[in-house]
Amino acid sequence: MSTMSARQLLGLQARVIAALVLRETRAAFGTSQFGYLWAIVAPAAGVGLLVFIFSLVDRQPPFGASLALFFATGVLTLEFFTKLSNALMTAFDANKALLTYPLIKETDALFARLILIAATYALIMVLFYSALTILGLADPPAYPERLLQAFGATAFFGFGFGTINAVAISLFGSWIHIEKVLTRPLFFLSGIFYIPSLLPPEVIAVLKWNPILHLVEWMRTGYYPNYESTVINHAYPIGLAVLLTLLGLTGERVFRKKRV
Amino acid sequence: MIELQNVTKSYHLKGVHKTILDDLSFTFPQSRNVAIMGQNGAGKSTLMRLIAGVEYPDSGRIYRATSVSWPLGFAGGFNGSMTGLENARFVARIYNQDTEAVIDYVKGFAELGHSLNLPIKTYSSGMKARLAFGISMAIDFRVYLIDEITAVGDEQFKIKSQQVFSEKLKNSQIIMISHSETAIRSYCDCGLLLAPDGVYYYDDVNTLIADYKMLA
């Protein structure tokens, strides 16, 4: 038998990732059929609760006519990033048993989790925005293609961030706690319940270093027909995503032997 | 063909340094069944994991120009919260096998009955071994890597696995780790001994077993 052709290798890779996605779905959402439903309902309920709390404080949405829509564009983007990077961060450890099978490489687990979580959040967003539209709380998105780009950019950045953290954790186990501390303030720093462009310049000067802020702004410029952002820089989150992904995958390759 | 070229493998864990293989070059003889013997901690399982490709050597190369199974041991790559059937389906999928054919085979072979629908975490180690053995036998490998897994189950099951195994061995070979003289004698016709001062190849199992006993 000779070595495998590129086509056979691609086929193998696709097969392994597909099998892993099915396995991960099963592991992530439990035995019952309600498991997956719950994964979709929970973020929606979270946004609902936020809307409720903020509407008690101030009924006026920061932008547009709907408080729910404004929060959703922020919270769902941040949650997608957080869920993705957390899932990737633990992917190596959670899949140790899988490495019994020589066909499966650790990067396959990363790709499988990316696909699963991106699909889940795409579904969540479609359902949530459709529900808002049907209830008359929002209009359909003004620039769907920008929404798609923003979604893709968030997935890419989450992948890079999660991968590099996965490598960091495999080398230095306590990193998982440090990462939690570092990412906790994101909820307040990402423009979820305010419009970043309206902040004082000295605050913007600091906040603009947060890539999630740019991703949230990207979502909003895609959803609203007239959302003007003076802060947004599309190249920044994409550039960081490229850098983190390259470093993460290189790190995975370099430290592969040490991790086993 | 499986060939090791200048393979070195060592571990550093918590300040302890242990060299398991030091510049080992070895070509596994084709169509012969190879035993791997050695004391606990000598690195038998590590060698097997290197052959399978689930672990990497520090330096050197390992060539596998044949289809090699995963190392069949008690600690299988099962997901504890998934059922036996789901795990079997998963393995069938990654090896590009007909999932239903694999499941039919496993049902007939492993004799786990309704337990196949229960999560793996409820299985005894014997049940897990039977499942792992059944799944691997459902897939046609040229080389089966067996890590101490032959003697599971009751007498009847042992006889059955031996029959299936002999059938498989007509077209496949095995590389087997075992401490059991009987298992080595009944399946292998040559072997490697992982001794403290190096790795030795034996062309017949009698000398291998004799020298293995000298180690103890």
Q: For the segment A240-251, what is each residue's pLDDT rounded down to a tens digit?
A: 999 999 999 999
Binding-face residues of A in 15-34 toward B, CB within 8 A: 15-16, 18-19, 22-23, 26-27, 31
Closest-CA residue of chain A to B73: A100
- Give the one of B56, B65, B94 whose C-beta lies nearest to A19's C-beta: B94
Helices (H) and strands (E) in chain B, counts: 7, 8
pLDDT for residue A197: 92
List, as one string, the DSSP characters of A98-149: GGGSTT--HHHHHHHHHHHHHHHHHHHHHHHHHHHHHTTSSPPPS-HHHHHH
- Which among A24, A29, A92, A101 is the top mutation candidate for probing chain B, defined by the most B β-carbons within 10 Å of its own β-carbon? A101
Q: Dump pLDDT digits (tens) for B13-36.
A: 777 888 888 999 999 998 899 999
Binding-face residues of A in 31-50 toward B, CB within 8 A: 31
Closest C-alpha to A84, from A153, A5, A4, A20:
A153
Q: Which of A25-34, A118-127, A173-182 has the lowest mean pLDDT?
A: A25-34
Instruction: Look at residue A1 and tell me whether its pLDDT is greater than 50.
Output: no
* Average pLDDT of every residue of chain B: 87
Average pLDDT over residues B56-66: 90
Amino acid letter, B21: L
Q: Dump pLDDT digits (tens) for B127-175.
A: 888 888 889 889 989 999 988 766 566 777 778 877 888 888 888 999 9
Q: Which of A38-52, A125-139, B117-131 has the lowest mean pLDDT?
A: A38-52
**Strand B59-64 vs strand B2-13: parallel, antiparallel, or unpaired?**
antiparallel
pLDDT for residue A33: 67
Q: Which of A38-47, A188-197, B203-212 has the lowest mean pLDDT?
A: A38-47
Q: Are A194 and A207 in contact (CB under 8 A)?
A: no
Q: Which residues of A155-180 are buried (b: 16+ CB within 10 A; e: fewer)?
A: bbbbbbbbbbbbbbbbeeeebbeebe
Which of chain A's residues have a Cβ under 8 Å away from the Cβ of B1?
Answer: none
Binding-face residues of A in 84-143 toward B, CB within 8 A: 97-104
- What is the rounded CA–CA span in Å between residue A73 and residue A50? 13
pLDDT for residue A59: 67
pLDDT for residue B74: 64
Backbone angles phi, psi at B22, to 5 degrees: -120, 100
Q: Tell me the two tokens of residue A127.
A: 């359902």
Closest C-alpha to A13, from B72, B178, B96:
B96
- Give the one of B58, B70, B86 whose C-beta lies nearest to A101's C-beta: B70
pLDDT for residue A119: 93
- Give the one of B52, B68, B93 whose C-beta lies nearest to A15's C-beta: B93
Instruction: Look at residue A25 and tell me whether its pLDDT is greater than 90.
Output: no
CB contact under 8 A, B79 and A260: no
pLDDT for residue B82: 85
CB contact under 8 A, A15 and B94: yes
Could you give the 3-state DSSP secondary structure of residue A219? helix
pLDDT for residue B99: 92
- What is the rounded CA–CA span in Å between residue A186 and residue A192? 9
Cα distances from B212 to residues B10, B191, B204, in angstroms, run 23, 11, 13
Half-sphere exposure of A222 (CA within 13 A, CB side): 21
- Give the one of B55, B65, B79 whose C-beta lies nearest to A23's C-beta: B79
Instruction: Look at residue A259 and tell me whether its pLDDT is greater than 80.
Output: no
Cα distances from B173 to residues A173, B67, B182, B186, in angstroms, run 41, 11, 18, 13
Q: Dump pLDDT digits (tens) for A4-24.
A: 788 888 888 999 999 999 888
Average pLDDT over residues A45-57: 79
Between A and B, how many residue pairs show a Cβ–Cβ distance under 8 A? 60
**CA A2 to the chain's CA centroid:** 41
Instruction: Look at residue B40 and tell me whether its pLDDT is greater than 90.
Output: no
The neighbouring-strand residues paired with B143 are B68, B173
- Residue B43 gets the label, from left (phi > 0), alpha (psi -120 to 50) or beta, of left
The structure tokens 């973020």 sit at: A43
List, as one string, the DSSP characters of B152-191: -S-HHHHHHHHHHHHHHTTT-EEEEE-S-HHHHHHH-SEE
CB contact under 8 A, B56 and A256: yes
pLDDT for residue A147: 96
* Average pLDDT of every residue of chain A: 89
Q: Would you give the DSSP letter of residue B107?
A: H
Of B110 and B193, which is predicted with more confidence? B193
Average pLDDT over residues B57-73: 89
pLDDT for residue B153: 64
What would you report as the CA-atom Rg of chain B, rounded to the nearest whole angstrom?
18
Q: Dump pLDDT digits (tens) for A166-179.
A: 999 989 889 999 99
